[in-house]
Structure 1
Amino acid sequence: MMQQQQQQNQPNLGQIKARVVSNFNFAVLNHCRPLLIGVLTVYLIVFSYTNKNLTFPGSEYFCPLLNPSPATATAPENLTVLPKVKVKAAPAPTNLSHLVFGLLGSEKAWRYRKNYIESWWRANVTRGFLFLDSAPAPDLLPWPATSPPYRISDELPEFANLSEIRPKRMVHGIKEVLREVGDEKELRWVIMGDDDSIFFVDNMVDVLSKYDHTRYHYIGGQSEYLMSNFWFSFDQGYGGAGIILSYPLAKALAGDMENCLRRYVFLNSADNTTRNCIADIGVNVSPYKGNHQVDLHGDISGFLSAHPVAPVTSLHHFDVVEPIFPAKDRFEATRHLMTAAEADQSRLLQQTVCYSRERNWSLSVSWGYSAQIYERIMPRSYLQIPVETFTPWLDVPSPVKYMFQTRKASGSPCRDPHMFFYAALEKRLETKGIVTRYSRAGPRGLGPCLSSGNHSADSIDSIDLWSPATKRTKVDRCECCDVVRIEGKRAEIKLRKCRRGEVIA
């Protein structure tokens, strides 16, 4: 029995051979592991740069799996190959060719109002039509290429017995514009306006590019006159300043045009009728502060010198306000403003404020229009309030007349500014910048502000403003400026980007 147990405890020859082979394989694996890791690392690095099956000399010895046989290298026959998904290309950025204008005009008024339209219309570039109430008289022909092509508005016999058919004609013009352009896939926006309005089309393209033109959008500006909004609606775009419709909304509105005009036959306002028709489609206006109805009278320099931080897109009623520049008629003043707009619409009318601390001066510039010097340090929160140089659209008893805060001219030398207006513009190639010059409008006649140190600005005749030649693309805040020098009769200011957290006061 002892002998049997000893024989059981002793390993047999097969077990000894298996153990020796196992130990030998383990030793070889430990010895070759760095080499295997190195080969695999090189393979993976090379494989990351190519889609080809690579082989290395001797790799079949180290690891046959690195070189699969043709049978294992091909995909199984029953594997479903998914089709390639086509990624839809992003739409091209909005440009002027995506916009079409419908301008409503009068044949009698066109003789002098055409100057407003021709100041911004770009022949063979801007798209749109002028809709006249009757065919042009012989003295208006041949029709100039500098004006929009004209069409005659539809007669609308169904509404011919109404005392005021003009509002229906203006609303129906939306459908007529679409009829003229046809079912064009590239069209994105329809802008309706009056023949005494000025549009700044570069700014309009930039503003509209931020909207999705494939959805329903109704964009416009309110009236500056409080009672106009009260009488008609606070929730509508005013058409003289431009009612902007995305193409899908314009098509939907055109499709229901006759029904809607019948529903609201009792209304005598084109803007209010348009608002109601669009509301029935389920869309409300998106107010935009750069669209200006200009329901004001008189001198609007105070209004234009304190423009909100929004690119200006339109100015209406140039036919009823005073010329916006001294010593110029309405057309000359319009063309003069457009010389600045042609150089840089993105900064046009944008207000910038900076200070000469040693003189206790505040300087406010409305780019391309006006500049002001106050003989006192005043924060931007005050200087952004328009001076009430204008009067309301209608003089009716009301404690509040405007949709914005105003400040009265005080007659105080510490509160009323020295006024300067845009006179000239020069592009400087060596500095890649633009210099706009603002010349004094006339003597202020108030004497110096004694409480701030008796630093009179009466000697200053002009202000030069240096600005970049590059277009301004971000309008989340105003730009800042520095007073470069004040020598003799001239002051120099330079625009710059505001520093993070900078306070203008």
Structure 2
Amino acid sequence: MFTMMKNNFKDSEHLYLSWTFSKLIAFFFLLVSVCYLFYSLRFVTHSYDCEQQNPLPLVSHLAPSIDYAIEEIPKPSFDETNISHIVFGIGASAKLWKQRKEYIKLWWRPNQMRGIVWLDRKVEADSKDKNLLPPLKISEDTARFSYKNPKGHKSAIRISRIVSETIRLGNTEGVRWFVMGDDDTVFVTENLVKVLRKYDHNQFYYIGSSSESHLQNIYFSYNMAYGGGGFAISYPLAVALEKMQDRCIQRYPGLYGSDDRIQACMAELGVPLTKERGFHQFDVYGNLFGLLAAHPVTPLVSLHHLDVVEPIFPNVTRVQALKRLQVPMKLDPYGLIQQSICYDKRGTWTISVSWGYAVQIFRGTFSPREIEMPARTFLNWYKRADYTAYPFNTRPVSRHVCQKPFVYYLSGAVALSNVTKSEYVRSGSNPECRWQMQDPSQIQRVEVYKKPDPHLWDKSPRRNCCRVVPTKKKGTMVIDVGECKEDEVVEL
């Protein structure tokens, strides 16, 4: 019996322990659940508070630590592209070097620019040119490359390799862009820099423009940057080009020039042409007046084929004419040759100002749509082609004596306190007109006042406005040119 009682006791004790253990486990889970519940409620409460209450106190509370962090981290400086970031590669010929070097002297800035003139053979050095020109180098021998175009010249291969040869010379620290041009190309370097600043030099960019001849663009490519007008290649793209260019050149022995070989390699690299209309190939003959007097609303970057066309100012040499253009170029490069259109209601005249170059006065009223089109004072590169062979709109030069413009060319320019004053003198004479209206022949001189705008091309493109200013100066017209005012419209 004792044994039985002992066993019953053990069973009761076992049941008691099991029940106690179960209670402990249940209590533990209950405790965890309650804790989790409180945690969840706290989280929900804070979320609810953030939605219902103004978050500014929280920001205000954190502000001191944020300000402290900002003070500890220096702000990165924005390093804009400047002329020192550009390396020029100029393709030149020893045969024409004596006359062509005068064009380079016009725009080259010793000790400020980096670049090399690449020649086919050694030329006689002139001590006077030592500090006025880039260093001269002889291109590598390209005899190993095949050239099969019957109309071209094998020098195209060596010129196409200028960027690659420049990279192999080393000393490319800080270089962002390689800019190609010919020895008869004149650059407006301030505008070149302004254009390149728009693009990320760390990316692949191939920047330039097409020909003024539709047939040229068909024969070569609308996707090609014409080398005479100049083009820019970003540094990483130039490095990629150098690695594959020699193999690429071998695949295109039938191409004509250097620029189409560059474009063929760009096509293999998958890089399209980014067009900037301020690079001018000028595949035309004759007088550039029509093209310059109605320049597109874009920075003037380059001029080419200066040995082929007439001097841009009458009665002077080509170099003398370009030196005259340098005067307004230094005063306001961003506004150079930018067109403005306005009307003189008293005389019923239409006025077109190509700042820093020329002013035209037309009898009667012409719409801006017509005046902004270049007059065909020039001839097509293919002399049998007519006006339909241009890739842009043009207008005919009027044959009616009364509709011929009175033209005034730049004679000089100066900087005043906060504006520039440029003067334009009448060129030539106009045939007698029998229209019963006031005759502009009484105007012998035009004064144009313009405030330079360094941010002109940082804004959306728009022509400047011009206004005829009353004056008592006999035989003189005074014009104010500047940013269009609010609601100012060029209306007939």
> Which bin holds the TM-score, normalised by the shorter protein?
0.7 to 0.9
Decide which structure has greater helix share: 2
The aligned counterpart of 1:155 is 141
Q: Is the 8 A contact 1:375 1:413 kept in 2?
A: no
Secondary structure of 1:458's counterpart equals helix
The aligned counterpart of 1:456 is 439
Distance 1:380 1:398, change over 3 A: closer
Equivalent residue for 1:232, pick from 212, 216, 220: 220
User: Does residue 93 of the first structure (1) align with residue 80 of the second (2)?
Assistant: yes
Q: Is the 8 A contact 1:413 1:449 kept in 2?
A: no
User: Does residue 441 of the first structure (1) align with residue 424 of the second (2)?
Assistant: no
Identity over the aligned pairs, expressed in percent? Answer: 34
Distance between the aligned counterparts of 2:390 and 2:176, measured in 1? 33
User: Does residue 485 of the first structure (1) align with residue 470 of the second (2)?
Assistant: yes
Q: Is the 8 A contact 1:122 1:146 kept in 2?
A: yes
The aligned counterpart of 1:202 is 190
CA deviation string 1:84-124 (max 9, x = no partner): 99788354011110111000001121101111110011111
CA deviation string 1:227-254 (max 9, x = no partner): 1001111111100010211111111111
Distance between the aligned counterparts of 2:129 and 2:147, measured in 1? 32
Q: What pairs up with 1:390-409 in 2 under 5 angstroms?
A: 390-397=378-385, 400-409=388-397
Q: Is the 8 A contact 2:110 2:134 kept in 1?
A: yes
Distance between the aligned counterparts of 2:109 and 2:196, measured in 1? 19
The aligned counterpart of 2:271 is 283
Deviation at 1:134, TM superposition (A): 0.5
Q: Is the 8 A contact 1:99 1:188 kept in 2?
A: yes
User: Does residue 258 of the first structure (1) align with residue 243 of the second (2)?
Assistant: no
Q: TM-score, normalised by structure 2?
A: 0.82
Distance between the aligned counterparts of 1:214 and 1:171, measured in 2? 22
Distance 1:394 1:152, change over 3 A: same
Which amino acid in 2 is paired with 1:137? Answer: E
CA deviation string 1:14-48 (max 9, x = no partner): xxxxxxxxxxxxxxxxxxxxxxxxxxxxx999978
CA deviation string 1:287-331 (max 9, x = no partner): 111010000111111111000000000000001111110111011
Secondary structure of 1:159's counterpart equals coil
Deviation at 1:397, TM superposition (A): 4.3
Q: What pairs up with 1:21-36 in 2 under 5 angstroms?
A: none
Which amino acid in 2 is paired with 1:490? Answer: T
The aligned counterpart of 2:162 is 173
The aligned counterpart of 2:231 is 243
Distance between the aligned counterparts of 2:202 and 2:209, measured in 1? 21
The aligned counterpart of 2:317 is 329
The answer for unaligned runs of 5 or more in structure 1 is 1-42, 52-81
Which amino acid in 2 is paired with 1:180? Answer: L
Deviation at 1:180, TM superposition (A): 3.0
The aligned counterpart of 2:345 is 357
Equivalent residue for 1:107, pick from 94, 100, 105: 94
Equivalent residue for 1:216, pick from 201, 204, 211: 204
Distance 1:99 1:418, change over 3 A: same
Deviation at 1:129, TM superposition (A): 0.6
Which amino acid in 1 is paired with 2:354? Answer: S
The answer for unaligned runs of 5 or more in structure 2 is 1-56
CA deviation string 1:445-497 (max 9, x = no partner): 242543xxx11100111111000134234351011011002542100000121
Distance between the aligned counterparts of 2:408 and 2:386, measured in 1? 32
Distance between the aligned counterparts of 1:307 and 1:230, measured in 2? 23
Distance between the aligned counterparts of 2:160 and 2:119, measured in 1? 14
Equivalent residue for 2:405, pick from 407, 410, 417: 417
The aligned counterpart of 2:15 is none
Distance between the aligned counterparts of 1:45 and 1:161, measured in 2? 70
User: Does residue 121 of the first structure (1) align with residue 108 of the second (2)?
Assistant: yes
Q: Is the 8 A contact 1:413 1:448 kept in 2?
A: no
Q: What pairs up with 1:174-193 in 2 under 5 angstroms?
A: 174-184=163-173, 186-193=174-181
Structure 1 residue runs of 4 or more that deviate by more than 4 Å after TM superposition: 43-51, 84-88, 160-163
Secondary structure of 2:202's counterpart equals coil
Distance between the aligned counterparts of 1:382 and 1:49, measured in 2? 60
Distance 1:155 1:382, change over 3 A: same
Secondary structure of 1:355's counterpart equals strand
Distance 1:48 1:339, change over 3 A: same
Deviation at 1:182, TM superposition (A): 3.1
Deviates more, 1:470-479 or 1:241-250: 470-479
CA deviation string 1:113-143 (max 9, x = no partner): 11111001111111101001101125x4575
The aligned counterpart of 1:465 is 448
The aligned counterpart of 1:304 is 292
Secondary structure of 1:438's counterpart equals strand
Distance 1:455 1:88, change over 3 A: same
Deviation at 1:394, TM superposition (A): 1.8
Distance between the aligned counterparts of 1:250 and 1:173, measured in 2? 11
Secondary structure of 1:192's counterpart equals strand
Deviation at 1:156, TM superposition (A): 1.6
Distance 1:398 1:410, change over 3 A: closer
RMSD, aligned CA: 2.5
Q: Is the 8 A contact 1:353 1:365 kept in 2?
A: yes
Deviation at 1:500, TM superposition (A): 4.0
Distance between the aligned counterparts of 1:288 and 1:502, measured in 2? 28
Deviation at 1:393, TM superposition (A): 1.1
